[in-house]
Amino acid sequence: MVKRQKSMSKILVTGSAGFIGFHLVKALLSDGHSVVGIDNLNDYYDPQLKIDRLDVLDECYSKINGLVTYDFIKLDICDSRDLESVFEKHDFEIVFNLAAQAGVRYSLENPSAYIQSNLVGFTNILECCRNFNISHLIFASSSSVYGMNTKQPFSVSDPTDYPVSLYAATKKANELIGFSYSHLYDIPSTGLRFFTVYGPYGRPDMAYYKFFDAIKNGTPIDVYNNGNMERDFTYIDDIINGLVKVMEQPPQRVAHSKSNAKAPFKIFNIGNNNPISLLHFIETIEHCVGKKALKNMLPIQPGDVISTFADISELEQCTGFSPSTPLSEGIRSFSNWYFKKNQVKK
């Protein structure tokens, strides 16, 4: 459980109807913060799940007493004028920018969606943070920036100059643009490289969700690189605890690496520090569903990486972050939500 802060904040969460954004808003409200959430409710996956998340947030807020406020605004961060009007109306102290076009494979099909949301939208957020004196911006990057890096675990000091997907390239660009704004305009900013987040209310395009659907229905699952893959699967509750801890530790203005450029800017890995083989992950899902998977073994897809493994030592040292949810427990939690949502018996 996240500890209550002594002083409560007015916080903006973009992408608040998304998987991580939803869980973050719920935690912030429960902890006594006032929150404005914005989301464009696009149809990258079924918008009904996003609406379901918003309904849960409304229910959560209705149970809270005191001075807490919560507003949801349907808005696209690519619309700079509407976004600026939200900042003008609300006196935000902290901004979480989680709005983005997600998905490595979809970036091969619709690259313009990534340019608009992840680059144009992110720059709009930075401009608002600049003009409205935000005390801390926390934004989502991705483990995808490490590309085909063979050094394990991935460290934030490792080179990230060779992204193998457009999605990864846009996230690397976020880090670079974010640093320049932080340096130029003294915006305390923290970028977080997420490692394969899973849990209840998760995205249907994620592999674990697809695996549940397919195994339950007796249809084959696509297993890429013949199953010779590993992911640093990180349970959503651990991620949210990490986000709140980061929020409480805005970076100080210091020189970075071998450069003399100074900025209140920091990049962290946020993961489980424990890579799990894809085949073991599938076995864990099989146990929860109560059926064996029909596996369609395939070669690795363009833009995909073989292994991810987060070195979280810097985040742990700076914030005390320590993921604690075993894979079996996290998958069981998702399973309970999944079968309740689908109103079926295993």
Q: Which residues are catalytic?
A: 167
Joined together, the tokens standing for residue 29 give 């409200």
The encoded tokens of residue 79 equal 């619309």
d(CA 290, CA 117): 39
Place of tokens 């399973």: 335
Q: Which of 169, 167, 170, 171 is nearest to 191 (CA)?
A: 171
SS (H, E, C) the chain: CCCCCCCCCEEEEECCCCHHHHHHHHHHHHCCCEEEEEECCCCCCCHHHHHHHHHHHHHHHHCCCCCCCEEEEECCCCCHHHHHHHHHHCCCCEEEECCCCCCCHHHHCCHHHHHHHHHHHHHHHHHHHHHCCCCEEEEEEEHHHHCCCCCCCECCCCCCCCCCCHHHHHHHHHHHHHHHHHHHHCCCEEEEEECCEECCCCCCCCHHHHHHHHHHHCCCEEEEHHHCCEECCEEHHHHHHHHHHHHCCCCCCEECCCCCCEECEEEEEECCCCCEEHHHHHHHHHHHHCCCCCEEEECCCCCCCCECCECCHHHHHHHCCCCCCCHHHHHHHHHHHHHHHHCCCC
Between CA 343 and CA 325 the distance in angstroms is 26
Distance between CA atoms of residues 58 and 233, nearest Å: 29
